[in-house]
Amino acid sequence: MEIKSVGVVGAGQMGNGIAHVLALAGYDVVMNDVSQENLNAAVSLIKRNIDRQVSRGKVEEDAAAEAMTRISTTLALPELGQTDLVIEAATERETVKIAIFEDLVPHLKPNTILTSNTSSISITRLASRTDRPEKFMGFHFMNPVPVMQLVELIRGIATDESTFKACLAVVEKLGKTAASAEDFPAFIVNRILMPMINEAVYTLYEGVGSVKSIDESLKLGANHPMGPLELADFIGLDTCLAIMNVLHDGLADTKYRPCPLLTKYVEAGWLGRKTQRGFYDYRGEVPVPTR
């Protein structure tokens, strides 16, 4: 099927980025959230980000204006049921995602494809809670969505070929590259990335290095654009912990045990950039290490 309209569930960091790139690519986008304030903030942020692309010569002014007209918002989840594709981009908690799909299913068109932007949760398990496991798959964008070129496409055990091809066509229309991943905990990117971040936290926890020395070592010694602790703050320490727990529970291997220090930061509510404190304190002009 040809996809023309897309519903995006969640107006947070990932949801607004997904809506941004879809609208620029010519799709009609309906963005849903539980808060009108979140929806208004998301639309304002999308406009600022697209305007920045215009100022840098990456997007034409006419295309930018057209893209903004393609984005509509709603507090009513059932209104997404008339779209051709739904991308769920809510918080990384399975209970929340399941509740969204169960509320949405009765309102869907027969051919609507359901997808989740989950970074780690079983696609097969999520699909089993819907009426269309064959039309369900993982559609995992990287953050920040407008910048990052990769999208992981994850088939559940029941996903059919036409669903995969329809989602692949969307990725290609966005000008991004698809990586096909099997439905195992954390898929490809986070299966490799999160244990590295977790090991960096262990390195800090055990006193092998400070926040600054760990990040500088990976930036200058391994040519990483961001240090692992800086990256963890950017992603969100709660998200990092959630993915490590999925790996630990799903693969039953002690090498995926979340570092106690990562758990402690999350318990403190120091989740990184979004709360102004994580492995760095962002409340001043320059980020300062917290350890």
Mean pLDDT of 233-249: 95
Strands 85-88, 71-74: pairing is: unpaired
Q: Of all residues in the chain, what percent carry a pLDDT higher than 70?
A: 100
Cα gap 35→230, rounded to integer Å: 29
Mean local confidence (pLDDT), 229-242: 96
How high does pLDDT run on average in the chain?
97
**pLDDT band with cut points at 50, 70 and 90 for residue 44:** very high
This prediction's pTM: 0.91
Confidence category of residue 253, pLDDT binned at 50, 70, 90: very high
Active-site residue set? 119, 140, 152, 190
Q: Can you tell me which residue has the tokens 């800086």? A: 230
Whether residue 91 has pLDDT greater than 90: no
Pick the CATH number of 5-181 from 3.40.50.720, 3.40.605.10, 3.40.720.10, 3.40.50.300: 3.40.50.720
User: Is the pLDDT confidence value at 1 over 80?
Assistant: no
Region 163-175 average pLDDT: 98
Percent of residues, the chain, with pLDDT higher than 90: 97
**pLDDT of 124 higher than 90:** yes
What CATH number has the domain spanning 191-289?
Answer: 1.10.1040.10
Q: How far is CA 239 from CA 13, 112, 118, 119, 231, in A?
A: 12, 28, 11, 9, 12
Domains of the chain, by residue range, sit at: 5-181, 191-289
The predicted structure's pLDDT at residue 107: 97
Angle, alpha carbons 9-18-265 (nearest 5°): 75
Same-fold call for 5-181 versus 191-289: no
The 10s digit of each residue's pLDDT in 97-116 is: 999 999 999 999 999 999 99
pLDDT tens-digit profile of 8-23? 999 998 999 999 999 9
Which DSSP string corresponds to 246-287? Answer: HHHHHH--GGGPPPHHHHHHHHHT--BGGGTBSSEE-SSSS-
Q: Is the pLDDT of residue 278 over 90?
A: yes
State how far Cα 171 lies from the chain centre.
15
